Structure 1
Amino acid sequence: MAELKVKNMEEFAAKSGVSRPTVSKYFNDPKSVRATTRERIEKALELYEYRPNPYAVNQNRRLTKNIGIVVPYVGDPFFAEVARRLEWRCIEEGYLPTTFSSHGSPDHEVEILDLLQSMRPAGVLLAPIGRESDRSHMEAFCKEVPTVLVDANIEGIGAAFIGSDNFQSMSLMVDYLCRSGEPPCLFEMPPVNPNANKRRQAYSEAMDRLGHEPSVIRVEGSGWDFEAIGHREGLKVLEEGRLTSKTVLCSNDRLAIGFLSAAYEAGHKVGITDDCSLRVAGHDDHPFSRFTCPSLTTAAQNYDSIANFSVETLCELIADEGSNRLRRETLFDNKLVMRASA
């Protein structure tokens, strides 16, 4: 059991009778020092209470092992799940990930990027706010730090974008809903990021292709509180009789969760049985979508492939040490998940 505390690596090196560079080399890779030296250091660890601060060790390296992960709203279980998977892949690759939330604030997003730059990260996985992001600040950051964008694509920013194919997924949903019942209207999310506009465009193109008139219901409100917006605006639409179809395709699952609550309050039964007056579907396969009542039909994003390929791409960029390369965009297909709501 450790008996004595030491304050830093210099003091530990003096106590163990080994040079400070050799101690540092040991903590980076124990097998990189001679067996006799390793034995001396490990005996000292048994006696003295000391473990190096990994972030401080990183700052003394030419290339740190820190990875920054930035999401627009960590209170969103969708982004929490994305961040969780990115973190584990970074850890598996031997990096130290730190996750930040910009909370939907472009000013705070800038502050996070400035903080990350001071940490000298090896790279950054960035899910930007999108439409309101400070493009010029983000461009300057990405010139200095290897950066991969995920979820929301800002054209020309970062060395790569990894995300979901919104046109494939919305076409998949529209095809299924038209095939299985009345063609859907689109209950649209606030345009907080590029995905909102892409999903609206993809919905309209799919409806045109099938010979149906697109019907987009735009909601009032802004920000990331999608459940509250879906509930409030859903009640308005239902009370005012503005639905143009008995099938409602929501542009994300969080909006659909709010709409399901509004439908219940307005006395509508949602589902696929004969006694139901509405069908409702969403997009993303939000972690809670299987537990709504009824469970939500949705387009599932390929979380694993997006997380794995994002980290693999960032590791390649780090290994290239910032060499110039063409920006890459990689989109993964989504999967139709049929549940009780549609």
Structure 2
Amino acid sequence: MAKKTYRSMDDFAAACGVSRPTLSKYFDDPTQIKEVTRKRIEAALKKSNFEPNLFARHLNRKRTKNIGILVPTMSDPFYVQVVSLIELELRAKGFWPVQISSHTRPELEEEAVRTLLSLKVAGAIVAPLGAGSRRSALARLTDAIPVVCFDSPSAFDLPFVGNDNAQSVAAIVQYLCRSGEPPVFLDVPHMMANTNERTESYRATMRREGHEPLVIECESSPSWEFERLGYEQMQRMFARGGLPGKTLLCANDRFAFGAMAAAFASGLKIGRAEGCDIRIAGHDDHPLSRYTCPSLTTMAQNAPEIAAKAVELLLKSVEDEEADRKVAPSRVILEATLVMRESA
């Protein structure tokens, strides 16, 4: 027997013998209504093709069940990993994730803000572009809805969840000093606040360990193509007569991937085993770092906790109907874990 078709919520509510508000309550949370009414609606659903347009219903409300997620790029597996975890956290709590990338471009970050506001999202979890962000765009977003930042804090006094870069860089510098020649630091362009923190932690830790820090600044124009930057920087050093040391600590894993490729192309053997020419380490525990050859020694950010805490902070405000629209400023800083692999 063909299932019945209903064109609207009103039509289906009438067929169920319930009011439109009661039907809306059922689709929001079936536990809100009496069991006998719930069973009546569910029996009618089985006999029909009715599927409510929940997205349109949410847009008609002052506050939707949608949460925006805005990141600089989805080509970086670190963001893919964290965003996937955020999405699962939100779904488990009854919210719908709306994910947008700015593709590392300020004008597209601004456009993404306009899109999220037009969708009437209840709040947003944002990894800002950092120095490249347009202040007016983020100001418009934070004036309208609760916002929590992750990975890199914004210029505004917003809640932030991120890595303890002072702790993580100190831990890997100490390990490299204990296990061999003290590291030279290969820096990336300082487009975000966390890059400054990592560089300063390297300098401070080297001095505490009794060594003179040596930071090699990236000579390329600022870019999110970190693999290319790492490869080109190593090539420049080779062209000038060689590397400044036999242990290199890269500011992030993607830069380390490029550095490793350039070292391999120059005939160097990378690793901590006897007979190797150079040690290379990174930071972040990029999802591909365990599959490089050799596998990359690095610091693992606590991605699951970053996602969980960001969602927790945001929903504290979003779910409180009486609360102010802003999230109370707070910072959740999480320690990273040393992952020792074959590269260093």
User: Could you say which TM-score interval applies, normalised by the shorter chain?
Assistant: over 0.9
TM-score (norm 2): 0.93
Partner residue of 1:226? Answer: 226
2:132 match: secondary structure: coil
Structure 2 counterpart of 1:306? 306
Q: Give, in angstroms, the shift of residue 63 of structure 1.
A: 2.5
Listed as ranges, the matches of 1:1-342 within 5 Å are: 3-158=3-158, 160-219=159-218, 220-320=220-320, 321-322=323-324, 326-342=328-344
Q: What is the CA–CA distance in structure 1 between the aligned matches of 2:52 and 2:254, rounded to whole Å?
A: 43
Deviation at 1:4, TM superposition (A): 3.4
Could you report, residue by residue, the CA deviation over 1:291-332 in whole angstroms, capped at 9, with x for unpaired residues?
A: 100000001111122111111111112234326675211211
Q: CA deviation at 1:153?
A: 1.1
Shift of 1:6: 2.7
What is the CA distance between 1:2 and its match in structure 2? 5.5
> In the TM superposition, what whole-angstrom CA distance separates every residue of 1:156-214 from its partner, at most 9, and x where no partner exists?
343x0010011111111111111111111111112221122221111111112222222
SS at match of 2:315: helix
SS of corresponding position for 1:49: coil
SS in 2 for 1:125: strand
Alignment CA distance shift 1:2-1:166 (3 Å): farther
Cα pair 1:185 1:217 within 8 Å, conserved: yes
SS at match of 1:168: helix
SS in 2 for 1:98: strand
Asked whether the equivalents of residues 2 and 45 of structure 1 are also in contact (C-alpha less than 8 Å), the reply is no
Is the 1:78–1:286 contact (alpha carbons within 8 Å) kept by the matching residues of 2? yes
How many pairs does the alignment contain?
341
The Cα of 1:107 is off from its aligned counterpart by 0.9
List gaps (5 residues or longer) in structure 1.
none
Letter of the aligned partner of 1:140 in structure 2?
A: R
Matched letter for residue 322 of structure 1: D
- Evaluate the alpha carbon distance shift between residue 327 and residue 32 of structure 1 in structure 2; reply closer, same or farther with a 3 A threshold: closer
- Between 1:221-230 and 1:29-38, the stretch displaced more is 29-38
Q: What letter is aligned with 1:299?
A: M
Corresponding residue SS for 2:133: coil
- Which letter maps to 2:342? A
Distance 1:7 1:232, change over 3 A: farther
Please report how far the alpha carbon of residue 115 of structure 1 lies from its aligned counterpart in structure 2 after TM superposition: 0.9
Give the SS at the match of 1:4.
coil
Q: Residue 33 and residue 317 in structure 1: after superposition, are their counterparts in 2 closer, same or farther (change >3 A)? A: closer
CA contact (8 A) 2:62 2:120 kept: no
Q: CA separation in 2, counterparts of 1:248 and 1:122?
A: 44
- Whether the 8 Å contact between 2:173 and 2:183 is mirrored in structure 1 is yes
CA-CA distance at 1:236 after TM superposition? 2.1
- 1:29–1:327: structure 2 CA closer, same or farther, 3 Å change rule? closer
Contact 2:185 2:215 in 1 (8 A): yes
- Report the more deviating stretch, 228-237 or 82-91: 228-237
The 1:106–1:2 alpha-carbon spacing in structure 2 relative to 1, beyond 3 Å, is farther
Distance in 2 between the 1:70 and 1:223 partners?
A: 19
Residue identity in the other structure for 2:189:
P
Q: Which amino acid aligns with 1:333?
A: E
Q: Deviation of residue 17 (structure 1)?
A: 3.9
Kept in 2, the 8 Å contact 1:138–1:157? The answer is no
Structure 2: state its 5+ residue gaps.
none
2:96 maps to a residue whose letter is L
The letter for the 2-side match of 1:297 is T
The offset of 1:73, in angstroms, is 0.8
Look up the SS of the partner of 2:131 in the other structure. Answer: coil
User: For residues 93 and 325 of structure 1, do their structure 2 counterparts lie closer, same or farther at Cα, with a shift above 3 Å needed?
Assistant: closer
Residue 278 to residue 11, structure 1, CA distance change in 2 (3 Å): same
Alpha carbons of 1:149 and 1:325: their partners in 2 closer, same or farther (altered >3 Å)? closer
* Distance change (3 Å), C-alpha of 1:326 and 1:316: closer
Q: Which amino acid aligns with 1:87?
A: E
**What is the alpha-carbon root mean square deviation over aligned residues?**
1.8
> Does the residue aligned with 1:131 lie in a helix, a strand or coil?
helix
Report SS of the residue matched to 2:98.
strand
In structure 2, the residue corresponding to 1:276 is in which secondary structure? coil
The aligned amino acid for 1:195 is N
